Amino acid sequence: MSLFKARDWWAAVLGEGEEFDQGCLCVGDVDNSGSGHDKIVVGSYMGMLRVFSPHPAKPGEPSPAHSQLLEVQLRDPVIQVEVGKFVSCSDLLHLAVLHPRKLSVYSISGTAGNVEHGVQYQLKRVYEHNLQRTACNMTYGTFGGVTDHHSMCIQSMDGMLMFFEQESYSFGRFLPGFLLPGPLCYCSRTDTFLTVSSARQVESYRYETLAVATDAETRQDAEQHGKTAGKRLTADWTLVLGEQALDLSVPSFSPSSSSIFVCGERNLYCLKDNGHIRFMKKLEYNPSCFLPYSSVSEGTTNTLVGNHNNMLLVYQDVTLKWAAQLSCSPVAVRLANFPDLKGVVVTLSNEGHLQCSYMGTDPSFFSTPKVDAREQDYSQIDTEMKSLQRVIRQATRTQADILPVAETDEDLTVTATVSTNMDSTSQALIPDIDGLPVPSVTVKIKVTSRCALQGPKLTVCVQPPLAVTQDQLVLEPLGVGSTTVVAFSAFLNGHYPPADLTGDVAVSYSSPTGIPRVAQCKFSLPLRLVCCPSAPSKNAKYKITVDTNKPPVNLSEVFPDFLEKSEDKEGNSLAFHFLSGPRVTVMASKTSQRYRIQSESFEDIWLVAKELVQRFDRHFAKQGVKDFRNSFAGPIPLAEYFETVDHHFELRVSAEKYQDLLSERAVQFRAIQRRLLTRFKDKTPAPLQNLDTLMEGTYRQVIALADAAEENRACLNQAFVRLRSATHLLILLVSLWQGLNTEQNAILEATLLPLLQDTPQLGWEESVDAAVSHLLRTCLSRSPKDQALSLSTSQLNMPKDTVRLKKHITLLCDRLGKGGRLSLASEANVPTPVMMPGGCEPIAEAVTDLEEPPLQQESATKFIKKKQPSKKVKSKTDKESKDKKVSAEGAVKETVEETAEEPVKEVKKEKKESSKEKKESTKEPKEPKDPGKESKKDSLKESKEKKESSKEKKESSKESGKESSKDTSKESLKEPGKEKVSRKSSVKVKEKKKEPDAAAGEG
């Protein structure tokens, strides 16, 4: 058992369906037994009055039922119970019970029984007061310094304090500025009454002031008398709390202590008798009740505070000393002394859980027995070790230690069933769209529980503009094996078709062990919910053709629910009229195995194409055909798709512009307000100089901009749904085009549809661009050497335009068309990391693959080679000539020495040598390639500074190649007979080399 848990000493559950509050509990020797032991008195709002004398159940005793002394059903609800000397002619304790319209005082007496049943207790009414006003709460004490007996003060719901001296009514006074009643308490040290008003301040009224104030029958009379004659009732002192108070308490355990405790909603206050704050404690929870009591340390006070987290905390002034867990949230707490135990904490919950507990632990008298020493049996240990190793090996063969095995029997199962027919009476909020009635369909959710669950919460989610009649509800508590069925209707709630007809159902609950869990299921809504049959049209702007490997089928067999207005009896054409306006026509070829889907809107083809493919699969599966396959011959309609992308991006740009304009106008509006406020506050009147006109005009601009921004936001939401539809259609066509499997299709869908909705911080364009770029760098790279070694960690920002995104999507489709494979697994030939000067190279954005981009290793080798001395070039020319990475300067210096050794490999460089080499070079048609390598090197440098497009790179490389080839040819013509190149000519060659750099920079 935990140390920080209240130890149950005695407990009872009071009634069923009864309700209790903080005034329904009190303790005291109500039967005047003279032993000094307390009894517990509990009243309920149902009128039940119970008296208990708790004692712990001993072994053999059946239950704590013997602890109940009395149970009486009263006619009126019990608001508050108190024990005190309320009878003038007696010094015994009596019980005061406050009802809404009555105050009753009872005496409880016990009669010794002659049989084993024990003492019998009786409740006898001594007197009662009928109240003219509805009571809220009461307090009692020695009003006016009378020490023998207790008087009572009742606060009514309309703010009147009614005073009773035992059997007689004294007077009544209305509190000034009253709105709602608050807690009420009496302080005997100062003879004052304390309350917390609706102004959220503590107010103190002296009994003497209340007694001499003007009497009145109604509040209007009190206000009128206060203005004309008599003494007006005023508070002795007030203290602003700033929050509503839960309870007030003035501890009277020590005459020297002078503290007033106030329990607020978030703070605990301790005040002096004059209203000054002694200390304050900020609470990190919502308290439900509190009780100050005496402390063992002199000058301090202990406080019990209960909260709604079933916790009972003990404070010594502001220091938390102990915390104990209770079984329920208390609404009232008291301390009591019983025969077997003193200082017991008595708590009462609002549902009637009465508990007597104490904090701490019981002493343990258990001592560990001595174990007889025995010798170890090593053969038995060895056998046990081998068996355990066998179990470990069997467990490691499976993935049980990596992925936990899902439970076969879940605590809660959820299934969804969609009705095959539309509702006879539509539940849609929009009755019709352009003359077409909006239907609704019923969805039934069946929730089956395998164990007892308390209050599961069901949530339904559908894609906009679809809506349901009820998206959230709390289910009734489920028993073992119980089943609950919930039904709701789904319908279209907008003037545009949705991007998806699937919905999600999630049921959140807590398992019997307290673990939060969620059970989910999906359901698909019928296509008939968003469209209706129509007459087919032959012409359309957008057309898509789906091929199959089986003979054409009759469309009336595939779509039996869309045959109402079909004029084609042979079943070769079918039309779908969306409720939002567009029409989609499906036509089957009579001679080939093709089906054409056409419409005036590109994105509206998606739902019909998806339904067509799914129904074809189901149709041929019913016939037992296993090799049926849908396909798409291409090309992918990227131009039409990019129109939807551009429209969505334009609306995003407009939203940012509206936001900026609104910010500017708001700043202007506030500046004009400050100017006007300064003018109005000025003591000397000054002309406004048309500031009011300017303010009115700015206000109109702000309102107009806000309306335009709101309209743009609605258009943006609609555009994003259309973009999702177009993207779904693109994914479907690519999947049919390349025959992607389920895993590859999921990767492509996660890449092109990363978001369910647009946000100002993260939009669709930048998210898709980052995802597509990652695929192009990893699984769709040109070669394993080009694969990126790490993820990009750059921040995603809204792009300036969609050019880069379009190029990347085009390149993605191009790589897939050339055999690229989508995979999240790393390739076997992982490239070795190469340190690059100035960062990694950007993705090649070329649409065609005619020219391969230079590898990163080439640029790295050139960068390293530049830093080496020219003497070492000779030893590396063999390897560099094989890799085609020789610089122009090294080629000029080494042509003479390398001609005799490698005449075949150095044909391209012999143009710079003797006339014999010229003759050989005339036979080679590919002379300009060597200078082209120099130009590639220069263009690489340029690409690191300016990431240009591939076309610009090609043009610059061609121009620089031509210029460098002309320069080297001129140089070789000037000195045809020399075997060695002079120093001046080499300098000229270096100067000529710089010209392609400049040309590339200008290009």
C-alpha dihedral sign at 431, 433, 439, 440: negative
Specify the DSSP class assigned to residue 453: B
What token pair was written down for 819? 């055999």
User: What separation in angstroms does the CA of 880 have from each of 875, 884, 885, 936?
Assistant: 10, 6, 5, 15
Question: What is the model's pLDDT at position 837?
Answer: 34
What token pair was written down for 718? 């609609």
What token pair was written down for 504? 């999600």
- The rounded radius of gyration (Å) of the Cα atoms in the chain is 45
- Euclidean distance between CA atoms 593 and 941, whole angstroms: 54
3-state secondary structure of 91: coil
- Euclidean distance between CA atoms 510 and 454, whole angstroms: 8
User: Residue 623: CB partners within 8 Å, gap ≥ 6?
Assistant: none
What token pair was written down for 231? 């003494």
- Residue 268, phi then psi, degrees to nearest 5: -115, 120
**43-74 exposure pattern, b = at least 16 Cβ within 10 A, e = fewer:** bbbbbbbbbbbbbeeeeeeeebeebbbbebeb
Q: Where are the alpha helices (DSSP H) in 788-872?
A: 803-817, 856-866
- β-pair partners for 355: 11, 347
Say if residues 324 and 5 touch (Cβ distance below 8 Å).
yes
Question: What is the model's pLDDT at position 64?
Answer: 55
Question: What is the model's pLDDT at position 630?
Answer: 87
C-alpha dihedral sign at 512, 513, 514, 516: negative
Question: What is the model's pLDDT at position 399?
Answer: 46
Say if residues 42 and 344 touch (Cβ distance below 8 Å).
no
What token pair was written down for 111? 């009669």
What is the mean pLDDT, run by run of 10 residues, along the chain of 1003 residues?
Answer: 74 88 92 86 94 75 69 93 91 93 92 66 92 94 86 93 92 91 92 93 93 71 50 87 92 73 94 91 93 83 92 92 91 90 91 88 58 75 92 72 52 90 88 86 92 89 91 88 91 90 92 87 91 84 88 82 66 84 86 88 90 88 85 88 93 93 94 88 80 91 94 92 92 90 89 82 89 87 68 80 92 88 59 35 40 38 39 41 40 38 38 42 40 42 44 45 43 40 40 42 40
Which residue pairs from 52-59 have beta carbons closer than 8 angstroms and sit at least 24 positions apart in sequence?
A: 52/12, 52/354, 53/338, 54/9, 54/10, 54/338, 54/344, 54/356, 55/10, 55/338, 55/339, 55/340, 56/9, 56/10, 56/340, 57/10
What token pair was written down for 192? 């004052």
User: What separation in angstroms does the CA of 558 have from each of 396, 441, 616, 689, 932?
Assistant: 50, 21, 7, 76, 61
Is beta strand 412-418 parallel, antiparallel or unpaired with respect to 353-358? Answer: unpaired
pLDDT in tens, 779-835: 888 776 666 666 667 788 888 999 999 999 999 999 888 888 888 764 433 333 333
Say if residues 934 and 996 touch (Cβ distance below 8 Å).
yes
3-state secondary structure of 611: helix
Question: What is the model's pLDDT at position 88?
Answer: 87
Question: What is the model's pLDDT at position 3?
Answer: 64
- β-pair partners for 597: 544, 586
Which DSSP string do the residues of 350-412 spell out, in sequence order?
A: TT-EEEEEE-S-PPP---PPPPPP----HHHHHHHHHHHHHHHHHHHHTTTTTSPPPPSS-SE
Say if residues 14 and 355 touch (Cβ distance below 8 Å).
no
Count of residues in the chain: 1003
